[in-house]
Amino acid sequence: MKLYSTNLQAAEVSFETALIEGQAPDKGLYLPRSLPLLSKEDIVSLKDKPYPEVAFRVLRKVLEGEIDELSLKEIVYDAYNYDVPLEELNENTYIMRLDRGPTASFKDFAARLMARLMQYYLKKDSKKITILTATSGDTGSAVAHAFYGLDNVRVIVLFPRTEVSERQRKQMTTLQKNISAISIDGKFDDCQAMVKSAFSDDQLRHLNLSSANSINIGRLIPQSLYYIYAYVNLCNYPEEIIFSIPSGNFGNMMGCVLAKTMGLPVKKIVASVNENDEFPSFLSTGEYHKIVPSLNCLSNAMNVGHPSNLARLIAVYGGQMDELGNVNKLPDMEQLRNDIYSISVTDEETKVTMRDILDSYGILIEPHGAVGIKGLSDYRNNTADKTIAVTLETAHPAKFPEEVKSVTGIDPELPISLKDAESKEEHMDLLTKDYEKFKEYLLSKLS
Ligand SMILES: *Cc1c(COP(=O)(O)O)cnc(C)c1O
């Protein structure tokens, strides 16, 4: 596999290099030059297989020549030791619950596989790295848990002080060992900008910094697998399917784009966002304006005013966007609109949807999942498209207890995996969004 940078100013690299380095030296994001095409036989043969087996069989093709099959199989089965339920909402609509991993959000899928792949390569090469990651809440905990206790990796998580829930914070601050957490007096976009600056800072090169947020291609590839799993469980090839994806930084949605590129018959991707509506506006007008600062919405893990992964999406559709959000070459907008439908969902609509789903189906969902459901129903109302659809529940309701309780009156029960962190002591450092201070911190902590 050869990967290129979306800024087109860096050399092509191998999968191992892209995985370990995270961001390209020209500040672009790595994308595979090509991906294997899944044949009809490939797709049909995945039917009725357990999740790790589906994941292994697809990855074996994607990562052919990059890792031996035996190690890959071990890694995949070790990473995916939890359920992936597909719940029927009505005749042609399903909810895929991606909330059964150890930190109860879909980020576990990517983080657990990526961590194990990194450990595999680092150990092989006797190298050590420090992962820097910016989080709007769930990435940080998923990444921290995924790498916790691994010998060759140290993790530093930056989170916006007032934008993560108490429970999300505890998932990051109670681990210790090789995990450090920094509370930033700023927004998610500030955290992300600090991390990006550190990666491209020559004076920090010797620290072997790497990323684990959705700018790492190792995060993206695992996020293509559950779309394939949902498809083979619900459809007969070549029947088409719709996915509705509650989106913030668009890593999850890019996973679906990769699955579609590999030949999965995806009729439409519904990219549902909260009031940070830069993407649906871009899709309709062809003009991109990031939202600075991003708006604080109920679905807080999606409060992103300039999603990093748009650079990748635009690259896949033949355009070019730099890391600042300048569109230097427009993608094929017609094709983009044909494949993707995008809608902004207000907080009020999110709440109404949470109550509706509880009243009509007895199913409790949290705000992010509600954005996905509302986006899908909007798409259906606008198009009368009855094609089978899967909407993603990206976190467990207990990750957002205050929001869920105030909207539905129900105090969601905590999964066992989350109970642990509640009572442990928290450890974190406090910093402002000043990059120079952050740099000093890294130099003193890591040198
Ligand atoms: C991160 C996150 C999202 C957004 O995913 P992106 O890949 O950033 O678009 C949605 N829901 C939850 C619960 C999340 O943690």
pLDDT tens-digit series, residues 284-343: 999 999 999 999 999 998 999 999 999 999 999 999 999 999 999 999 999 999 999 999
- Where b means 16+ CB within 10 Å and e means fewer, 55-70 reads bbbbbeebbeeebeee
pLDDT at 39 over 70: yes
Confidence category of residue 432, pLDDT binned at 50, 70, 90? very high
Q: Which of 130-134, 351-355, 392-396 has the lowest mean pLDDT?
A: 130-134
CA geometry: angle at 66 spanning 65 and 72, to 5°?
105
- Expressed in angstroms and rounded, the spacing between residue 247 Cα and the centre of ligand 1 is 6
Contacts of 146 (CB under 8 A, 6+ apart): 108, 111, 112, 114, 115, 116
Pick the CATH number of 82-105+219-408 from 3.40.50.1100, 3.90.550.10, 1.10.1740.10, 3.40.50.300: 3.40.50.1100
Mean pLDDT to the nearest integer, 74-84: 96
Q: Whose CA is nearest to atom 15 of ligand 1?
A: 138
- Lining ligand 1 with CB less than 6 A are 105, 107, 138, 214, 246-253, 301-302, 368, 394-395
Closest Cα to residue 354, out of 342, 372, 341?
Answer: 372
Confidence category of residue 3, pLDDT binned at 50, 70, 90? very high
- Expressed in angstroms and rounded, the spacing between residue 142 Cα and the centre of ligand 1 is 12
- Expressed in angstroms and rounded, the spacing between residue 40 Cα and the centre of ligand 1 is 31
Tell me the best of 135, 249, 350 to mutate to test the pocket of ligand 1, counting ligand atoms within 8 Å of each CB and taking the most: 249
Structure tokens at 445: 């902590």
pLDDT at 213 over 70: no
Mean pLDDT to the nearest integer, 126-130: 93
Q: Whose CA is nearest to atom 8 of ligand 1?
A: 249
CA 368, CA 390: separation in Å to the nearest integer?
14
Model's pTM, two decimal places?
Answer: 0.91
Q: Whose CA is nearest to atom 2 of ligand 1?
A: 301
pLDDT number for residue 165: 85
pLDDT number for residue 214: 65
Q: Which of 67-71, 199-203, 212-216, 404-408 has the lowest mean pLDDT?
A: 212-216
Domain positions in the chain are 82-105+219-408
pLDDT at 417 over 90: no
CA geometry: angle at 189 spanning 405 and 249, to 5°?
70
154 with 130: CB under 8 angstroms? yes
Amino acid letter, 419: K
Confidence category of residue 211, pLDDT binned at 50, 70, 90? confident
DSSP letters, 214-247, are: TTSHHHHGGGGHHHHHHHHHH--TT--EEEEEE-
3-state SS string over 367-379? HHHHHHHHHHHHH
Count the neighbouring beta carbons within 10 Å of the beta carbon of residue 334.
9
pLDDT at 404 over 90: yes
pLDDT tens-digit series, residues 9-36: 999 999 999 998 888 989 999 999 999 9
